[in-house]
Chain A
Amino acid sequence: MTARTTLHFHGGPGTGLSKAWAYVFTGAMVLFSLFPVYWVLTVSLKTRRDGLASPPLWIFDPTTANYLKLWGHETFKYTFLNSVIITAIGVALSLAIAIPTAYAIVRMKIRGRNLVGVWLILAYMLPEFLFVIPMFSLYQWTGLYDTHVGLALMYQVHVLPLSIWLLSSFFREINPAIDEAARIEGASNWQILTRIYVPCTLPGMAATAVLNAIWIWNELAIALGLTFSRAQTVTLGVTSFRGYAALDWGAMTAASIVAIVPMLLFAVAAQKHIVKGLSLGAVKG
């Protein structure tokens, strides 16, 4: 018992054995998370014959043929570009709308505050097709169907609630005494928001933008329901390779890798923001 207590003080929590197990288990989970992506990457670098070899090949001559073929695939390139545009519009729209709303909820008097809160939760939690199917006809009548703006607008039903929760919690960390001081100097609410709150919460803004971008980039159901050709997203571009499953793994896996690379780069560059956003989102949600 004495020995164990000493261990606690010198080596932090846990006995030697439980610590060793913690390393082993974490290592196993790292492998579990990494292996499928690694494996699919290798399949995308195999020739068709190597890709369909039995037993599967661990060592092979890598080829870029699948990626070159994808580069010549006009439709897929187009969907990738569409996703870049739609993600940019969707993120810009969500921040432009959520920033003043979050400020008003945190620092101004709104009588219907609780009602707005419940509304946000409902919009966030209800299933996609509840919104998409009724919108299908309205979008066709109004000309929003199969447009970048139309899709980015519909995505707000999910990203707006999340953005408002996140931004509200970042704004709450600012001392309200600063508002009072600025107001005495004659600043309006709008000036307080744009000159103090926004510059002070830039990391929070980044976290919100990153989470929204990931969600929009990866979304499928809404894009499936509200686009047809001109505004098809990269998730639909990848879906079009679904039928190749039995025939051509090379094209399908190459398209998959290309579709996830932007988000993987994001994850590496903005890990802290993503973690911050996710953790706060859970506390608020």
Chain B
Amino acid sequence: MTSALRFLGSASAFWFVLPCLLVLAFTSVYPVGFGLAVSFTNWNWGNQFELVGWANYANLLADAEFWSVIKNTVVFAAWATAIETALGFYLAVQVDKLAIRTDLIRAVIMLPLMVSGIVVALMSKVMFDPFLGIINHLIGAFGLGPSAFYGAADTAMASIVAVDVWWQTAFVFIIMLAGLRSLPAEPVEAARVEGASEFTIFWSIKLPMLRSLLITVIIIRAIDTLKVFDIVFGTTGGGPALATEVVQTFVYRTAYSYQQIGKAMATMILFSILILVISLTLQALQRRGERDA
């Protein structure tokens, strides 16, 4: 206890932080520690609890299903993050040009963010219905479709990406709009007096100043989309076949339908390492940019 006190600086600060440390220890350190231990066993929620060494990890890495699940997750995250970032940022630039009050516009555009993932999923099931859904009806007016959407392997993933784009683009929009509005006015005004085009002003003045914020937004969206669960669980459940199975739906099935807890936790550990590597890489990119600037 004394060493803990010294570690935290002063007795008073220790009491201020203690509840937080206790709750975080209970909700994160314990499960990660216990989960790591379980990943080296063949536990089935019941009496079967034997050490199997690295077997769960070795089996996963040799399993084609595991790799296709990882591939689906990364493909989903890459497309969703790229489209949401591009669309949200572009929208922020456009809204920033408007000469009217934009509070109401912003409120309407961020409406999808307030909707839970499972409701988004069910809403999309009604709209994407191959026979009676409004979307096939609307694209039919342009001579497109009809599409099976969730029902076919080659359109299911694109449909889920589209749903996530509807759901989360506003997140990028709100933050980039706040970023655009917080930029200092002088450099932009000066460039305008010099006769620089709007495109040049955006590309060589605003964008460099927003680079760090943009990468932060990309990191947040990348982590969030890699962890996708609700909208896959609520729509395809991973199908057809394995076309849209992502890591978290795969783990849910492994743990709760097949009772293979060791395998499920080994998957989670490997996946957590992947998330860490991806976010650290993006963060290194951000730091390098700040150093260069």
Q: Which residues of A contact B (CB under 8 A)?
A: 1, 5, 8, 11-15, 18-19, 21-23, 25-26, 29-30, 32-34, 36-37, 39-40, 43, 52-56, 93, 96-98, 100-101, 103-105, 108-112, 116, 119-120, 122-123, 125-138, 153-154, 156-157, 160, 164, 188-189, 214, 217-221, 224-225, 235, 238-239, 241-242, 245, 249, 252-253, 256, 259-260, 263-264, 266-268, 271, 274-275, 278-279, 282-283, 285
Bound-state CA distance A217–B117 (Å) is 11
Within 8 Å by CB of B252, from A33, A34, A129, lies A129
Query: A-B pairs with the 7 shortest C-beta distances?
Result: A218-B116, A104-B16, A109-B9, A134-B31, A279-B178, A157-B27, A263-B114
Q: Which residues of B contact A (CB under 8 A)?
A: 6-10, 12-13, 15-17, 19-21, 23-24, 26-28, 30-32, 34-35, 38, 45, 90-91, 94-95, 97-99, 103, 105-119, 122-127, 129, 131-134, 137, 166, 170-171, 174-175, 178-179, 188, 192-193, 195, 198, 201, 213, 216-217, 219-220, 223, 226-227, 229-230, 233-234, 247-248, 251-252, 255-256, 261, 264-265, 268-269, 271-272, 275-276, 279
Known A-B contacts A138-B30, A218-B117, A271-B103; A101 and B20 likewise in contact (beta carbons under 8 Å)? yes
A101→B17 contact, CB < 8 A:
yes
Known A-B contacts A110-B13, A138-B30, A235-B116; A33 and B108 likewise in contact (beta carbons under 8 Å)? yes
Within 8 Å by CB of A26, from B27, B45, B91, B111, lies B91
13 A-B pairs (CB sep. < 8 Å): A13-B201, A26-B94, A29-B109, A36-B127, A100-B20, A120-B24, A126-B272, A127-B226, A157-B27, A263-B115, A264-B114, A282-B175, A285-B220
A-side interface mostly? helix
Among the interface residues B12, B24, B217, which one has the most CB atoms of the partner chain A within 10 A?
B24
B35→A134 contact, CB < 8 A:
yes
A32→B166 contact, CB < 8 A:
yes
B38→A97 contact, CB < 8 A:
no
A260→B115 contact, CB < 8 A:
yes
Chain A residues with CB under 8 Å of B103's CB are 271
- How many CB-defined contacts (below 8 Å) exist between A and B? 295
Residue on A nearest B133 in the bound complex, by CB: A56
A119→B97 contact, CB < 8 A:
no
Bound-state CA distance A53–B27 (Å) is 49
